[in-house]
Structure 1
Amino acid sequence: MRALEEVTGVPLSLSPVSNSPVEVGNNGSRFSGWLFDCHGFWYNVALILPSFLFVVYLALQARKSLTKLSYGRSHIMIAYYGLLWLVSVLNLAWCCLQTWECTPGKDFSWNLLSLFTTSGMLFLEISLVAFLFQGNYASGLEALTRTFVVSGVIVCADILLKTIYIFSFGIPLFIGHDETKYQVKWGLWVVHKLLLTTVYGVIFFMYHTKWRERLPARPAFYNYISVMLLLNALALFACAIVGNGAGFGFWLYNFTTVCYHSFYLPLLYITFLADFFQEEDLHLENAYYSEMKDAGFFDADWD
């Protein structure tokens, strides 16, 4: 009965996580605890549902996508599609295992999963920004290697710094309780978000200067940069005011976290991969049209 009271008494809001353990009972209690405990029902659903639907979409489109990738033979698109699949599965696991954050004895597993998931998403972010400076669809092993080496070096440095903070200094970067106790944590997140905001801000303003010719002249990329600039600016503001003890900042930070883990990967797919697959469809349609025209199927239209 106590477990049921706790389940029904959880506030359905983006509030700081509880430091109480997740109780384990029968199958019904386990399911309700997995869905309701820690951050609450709506937080978990807002994370899990979009991530799950995106993985299902990738699975439904997998056969068609692999055929188009083999037809297009773009090394960058093939590598990026594989990375997108890997990170999407990791992100779905991260979204589904939110109770680990509040479960005693799961700190190491949660930190490790969070580290791999956020690092994979950061790698996609950095590599996509690098692709922006190489035209619409840079191809070739040389461009792929150069881009992935630069992205890998930056992400490895980020992983090393976070690993030192978490496992050497014991600072819970990915655990949300005792927020006022770890000011250093929010200082690190402020620096992290500030760097990302600066990069996206520079690219955003490049579109309004003479340097815009170096960027792809496509509205999808401009919209992507605008969305990421806004999201990182909100996260930067949230981290800064949480560090000063404002409770609203933690709510705003959780909101940006939900938006990032739920919608970033679909946004990236729409921006970078969807047009590639669509253009392949147009190429095939034009080829079929040319073949039919050569065969005389449209001669009657001129009579």
Structure 2
Amino acid sequence: MRVLSEIAESPFVISRLSPDSTATGGFIGGWVGKCHGFLHNTVLVLASILFVAYLAYEAKKSLSKLSNRRSYIMIAYYGFLWLVSLLNLAWCCLQAWECTPGKEVIWNLLTLFTTSGMLFLEVSLVAFLFQGNYASGAEALTRTFLISGLVIGLDLLLKAIYLFGFGVPLFIDNNEHIHKFKWGLWVIHKLLLAGIYGMIFFMYNSKWRERLPARPAFYKYITVMLALNGLSLFACALTANGAHFGLWLYGITSVCYHAFYLPLLYVTFLADFFQEEDLNLENVYYSEMKDAGFFDADWE
């Protein structure tokens, strides 16, 4: 534990908040050094700007493909991806608000809607792929978004109650005073997510894998998300027990999530749709299914 404490206190790692880390010296001064630190903020902002710039660069071709293929799910999902990407960009650029007096409410609202939007994309992706790789039609869209909306609505309501009803600082971290009840809530939240991804990962490695989409990219996505949520769960558990290293580790997982989740989502779910022609796309999926062993029984 001594080694972990030394790592957490190292000047070369991402900074953590304290009551004295207010964003003084103007916006630039607070953004660079007074809140999370230059490295933390730079990684977040650069990653989010690059991804939004890529979406903008590909927008004309993407809209043309969506118009030609008329997939309701893809049109809606692409629109939500743009909305959440812009919210995430704002969240990444306004990190100084977390430790600026008087900005607590607006920071909580921004974080609440940003994280809820990203969670909505997570839930929707799993629901989409369980209905088939590119299921289309108003019925499939309605069913998927209804399930996702109910889950996210409940999650958002509970977080809002804890934030504004009970005053639990869910989105403001404090290194000098660890709020154990808050971190206990995050343990439950991360445990649920890790459990869902773990269940899907187990299904892939069991006799029930035929019920899942035959796309290796999807399983790689599940593996990455299981690892990230498992690490985040471990960090929350450490922090809830008073270990400052856990707070540092949670900061690392948060940076990874906000910087790289949306690009991972795009590569997993949307990239093939926008870049491949219909026939080539079918050949790609057939090859992936064959490599995954889904046709082995036909040759026996």
Partner of 1:280: 277
8 Å Cα contact 1:101-1:110 kept in structure 2: yes
Partner of 1:14: 14
Q: Superposed, which structure 2 residues align to 1:221-236 within 5 Å?
A: 221-236=218-233
Q: How far off is 1:274 after superposition?
A: 0.2
Which one has a bigger Cα radius of gyration? 1
Choose from 184, 192, 196 the match for 1:195.
192
CA distance in 1 between partners of 2:94 and 2:36 (Å)? 11
CA distance in 2 between partners of 1:281 and 1:167 (Å)? 49
1:251 aligns with 2:248: yes
Q: How far off is 1:35 after superposition?
A: 2.5
**Sequence identity of aligned pairs in percent?**
69
8 Å Cα contact 1:72-1:280 kept in structure 2: no
Secondary structure at the aligned position of 2:277 is classed as: helix
8 Å Cα contact 1:12-1:43 kept in structure 2: no
CA distance in 1 between partners of 2:30 and 2:179 (Å)? 28
Q: How far off is 1:11 after superposition?
A: 4.4
Q: Which amino acid aligns with 2:17?
A: V
1:266 aligns with 2:263: yes
CA distance in 2 between partners of 1:115 and 1:227 (Å)? 23
1:135 aligns with 2:132: yes
Q: Which amino acid aligns with 1:96?
A: C
1:53 aligns with 2:54: no
CA distance in 2 between partners of 1:208 and 1:227 (Å)? 15
TM-score, scaled to structure 1: 0.86
CA distance in 2 between partners of 1:36 and 1:87 (Å)? 27
Q: Which amino acid aligns with 1:138?
A: A
Partner of 1:4: none
Q: How far off is 1:19 after superposition?
A: 2.3
Q: How far off is 1:255 after superposition?
A: 0.5
Secondary structure at the aligned position of 1:174 is classed as: coil
Q: How far off is 1:179 after superposition?
A: 6.1
8 Å Cα contact 1:36-1:44 kept in structure 2: no
8 Å Cα contact 1:47-1:95 kept in structure 2: yes
Q: How far off is 1:32 after superposition?
A: 3.2
Q: Superposed, which structure 2 residues align to 1:1-303 within 5 Å?
A: 11-20=11-20, 21-25=22-26, 30-177=27-174, 180-280=177-277
Question: What is the Cα-based RMSD across aligned positions, in Å?
Answer: 1.8
Q: 5+ residue gaps in structure 2? A: 1-9, 284-300
The change in CA–CA distance for 1:248 and 1:75 in structure 2 (over 3 A counts) is same
TM-score, scaled to structure 2: 0.87
8 Å Cα contact 2:23-2:29 kept in structure 1: no
8 Å Cα contact 1:12-1:40 kept in structure 2: no
Secondary structure at the aligned position of 1:135 is classed as: coil
Q: 5+ residue gaps in structure 1? A: 1-9, 287-303
Q: How far off is 1:135 after superposition?
A: 1.4
CA distance in 1 between partners of 2:39 and 2:279 (Å)? 41
CA distance in 2 between partners of 1:263 and 1:178 (Å)? 25
Q: Which deviations, in whole Å up to 9, do the C-alpha atoms of 1:95-147 show, x marking residues without a partner?
A: 00000000000000000000000000000000111112111111111011001
Q: Which amino acid aligns with 2:105?
A: F
Partner of 2:298: none
Q: Which moved more, 1:274-283 or 1:259-268?
A: 274-283
Q: Which amino acid aligns with 2:137?
A: G
CA distance in 1 between partners of 2:203 and 2:63 (Å)? 35
